[in-house]
Structures are given as structure tokens and as C-alpha cells.
């Protein structure tokens, strides 16, 4: 006979409720749900192409994260690895006054972001590799753990070579790679917290780190 596992049932219920709430908000902003997970096609971190799948960050987490940054008309925001565009949807919902961009390598996910965001003039999607963009065009960056650790390090080297003005980086799920930025010239951590439960609801299967950084090139 199958054993009943109350903890597992509660976790599943919790996840379903968070997803239902997120899907409701998605439909209001995007006309469709952005909940579906799309797996990564490349996880080979030793070859420095370690990418995570397209998993959308819950709105409640985004509200917490964006309470640590004030976007102005002069900013240019980009979500590196934007998936189906949940972060961008959150910024539309909260009426961010700046240009909002996302780059996404998985065509299936990027096309979803592109389709819903067409109705918003200040949102644009690039379907392609984040390693091929020039980051000097942006001031505020969001990373929702798009890269596995070695790939993250390669990305940071590229970033530091290109960026010529002070920027802000919001790094969600930073526990694997965030320490890499500590002590690097130009980088300062302005905030860090561990996010697990919000309003009594679990936001992920385990506690996840969020840190906010500034980078001022030499
Ligand atoms: C965990 S998801 C986060 C999605 C979204 N930022 C959010 O927080 O809701 C990470 C995304 O990064 C994308 N990604 C990984 N490597 C990439 C690359 N080199 N260029 C563009 N996108 C990439 C993945 O395909 C995936 O959709």
C-alpha cells in the first residue's frame, strides 16, 4: 500500500497555489500563463555552456527583489535569460518607467516573451545568446541563475571587459556563484537575503539567495 506523506502533499499544494496566483497575474499582463517549465538544451558547464531551463520567478519574489532598486526613466533594464518574460511582466505590472529588455536563447521561451510583450512599447525581446550582446547599453541587470558556475565566470569576464559605466545587478538564486563577485575589483554587494517563505508560502523547494550588487568600472 502507498504511504501517505503529508509533507509532500503540503509542498505540492503550496506549489500549486503559488503557480495559480502567478498564472492569474500572467494572464492579466500577458494574456497567457508563463508558468510552464521549458528544460535547458545545454547543461555542459565544463564546456562553458551550462544553461538552466526556463523557469519563471514567482511574482511575490520579484516584488521583494525589486523593493531594493528604484528604476528611473534614465535606466535601461535587461533580464539576461528572460525565459518567457516573467520579470518583464512584473516590471510592466509595476509601471517601471524605463526601457525593459530581455534576452533568451531558448527559442520556444523567447517566442512566448516576444508574442505577449508586443503590446508594450517599452519592452523588447532578443532571441539569441546572452554572450553576443554588448552590455554597455544597459544600467540595471537581472540574473535569475541563467548560467551554471563556470559559464557564469566566463560571462562576468565578458561583462567586465565591456561595461564602461556604473551598473546595478540583481542576482536571484546566487548561492552557487555569487561568491565569485566578492572581492573582485569594482563589485560591491549592497544587499543580501535568503528568500524562502513569503506570506507563509514557500517560494521554492529550498531557501534561495538574492543579492544586489553595484559594479563601477575602474
Ligand atoms: C531560470 S530561467 C529564469 C527566467 C527569468 N529570468 C525569470 O527569472 O523568470 C533562466 C533562463 O536563462 C536562459 N539562458 C541561459 N543561458 C543563456 C544564454 N547564453 N543566452 C540567453 N539566455 C540564456 C535559459 O534558457 C532560461 O530560460
pLDDT of residue 166: 97
pLDDT of residue 2: 74
Which of 105, 111, 148, 172 maximizes ligand 1 atoms within 8 Å of its Cβ, making it the mutation to test the pocket?
105
Give the chain's domain count. Answer: 1
Please report the DSSP string for 41-55 in residue order. Answer: S-EEGGGTEEB--B-
Structural domain contains residue 28 = yes
> What is the chain's percent helix, strand, coil content, to nearest 5?
35, 25, 40
Q: Is 79 in the pocket of ligand 1 (CB under 6 A)?
A: yes
**Percent with pLDDT over 90 in the chain:** 92
Structural domain contains residue 60 = yes
Q: What residues make up the domain containing 28?
A: 6-215
* Ligand 1, atom 1: closest residue by C-alpha: 55
Structural domain contains residue 158 = yes
CA–CA dist 116, 112 (Å, integer): 6
Query: Residue 150's pLDDT band (boundaries 50, 70, 90)?
Result: very high
pLDDT of residue 129: 96
- pLDDT tens digits, one per residue of 62-111: 999 999 999 999 999 999 999 999 999 999 999 999 999 999 999 999 99
Structural domain contains residue 210 = yes
The closest alpha carbon to 78, from 48, 98, 54, belongs to 98
pLDDT of residue 46: 84
CA–CA dist 212, 192 (Å, integer): 6
- pLDDT tens digits, one per residue of 189-210: 999 999 999 999 999 999 999 9
Q: Is 58 in the pocket of ligand 1 (CB under 6 A)?
A: no
**Residue 127, exposed/middle/buried by CB under 10 A (0-12, 13-18, 19+)?**
middle
What CATH number does the domain containing 163 carry? 3.40.50.150
Structural domain contains residue 106 = yes
Winning range, highest mean pLDDT, from 50-54, 62-66, 133-137: 62-66
* Ligand 1, atom 6: closest residue by C-alpha: 82
pLDDT of residue 142: 98
Q: Is 62 in the pocket of ligand 1 (CB under 6 A)?
A: no
C-alpha cell at 20: 495559480
Q: Is 51 in the pocket of ligand 1 (CB under 6 A)?
A: yes
Q: Is 55 in the pocket of ligand 1 (CB under 6 A)?
A: yes
CA of 4 to the centre of ligand 1 (A): 36
Rounded to 5 degrees, φ, ψ at 29 are: -90, -40
C-alpha cell at 31: 494574456
Structural domain contains residue 69 = yes
Whether the pTM exceeds 0.85: the reply is yes
The H-or-E segment that residue 187 falls in is strand 187-195
Structural domain contains residue 1 = no
- pLDDT tens digits, one per residue of 14-46: 999 999 999 999 999 999 999 999 999 888 888
Amino acid at each position: 500500500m502507498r504511504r501517505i506523506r503529508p509533507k509532500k502533499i503540503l509542498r505540492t499544494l503550496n506549489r500549486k497555489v503559488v503557480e495559480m496566483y502567478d498564472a492569474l497575474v500572467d494572464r492579466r499582463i500577458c494574456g497567457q500563463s508563463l508558468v510552464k517549465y521549458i528544460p535547458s538544451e545545454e547543461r555542459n558547464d565544463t564546456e562553458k555552456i551550462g544553461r538552466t531551463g526556463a523557469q519563471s520567478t514567482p511574482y511575490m519574489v520579484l516584488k521583494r527583489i525589486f523593493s531594493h532598486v528604484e528604476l528611473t526613466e534614465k535606466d535601461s533594464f535587461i533580464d539576461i535569460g528572460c525565459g518567457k518574460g516573467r520579470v518583464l511582466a512584473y516590471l510592466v505590472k509595476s509601471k517601471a518607467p524605463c526601457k525593459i529588455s530581455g534576452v533568451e536563447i531558448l527559442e520556444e521561451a523567447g517566442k512566448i516573451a516576444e508574442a505577449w510583450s508586443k503590446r508594450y512599447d517599452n519592452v523588447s525581446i532578443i532571441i539569441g545568446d546572452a554572450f553576443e550582446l554588448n552590455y554597455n547599453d544597459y544600467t540595471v541587470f537581472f540574473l535569475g541563475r541563467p548560467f551554471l558556475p563556470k559559464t557564469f565566470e566566463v560571462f562576468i569576464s565578458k561583462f567586465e571587459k565591456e561595461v564602461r559605466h556604473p551598473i546595478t545587478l540583481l542576482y536571484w538564486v546566487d548561492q552557487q556563484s555569487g561568491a565569485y563577485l566578492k572581492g573582485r575589483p569594482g563589485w560591491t554587494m549592497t544587499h543580501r537575503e535568503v528568500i524562502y517563505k513569503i506570506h507563509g508560502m514557500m517560494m521554492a523547494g529550498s531557501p534561495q539567495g538574492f543579492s544586489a550588487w553595484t559594479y563601477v568600472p575602474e
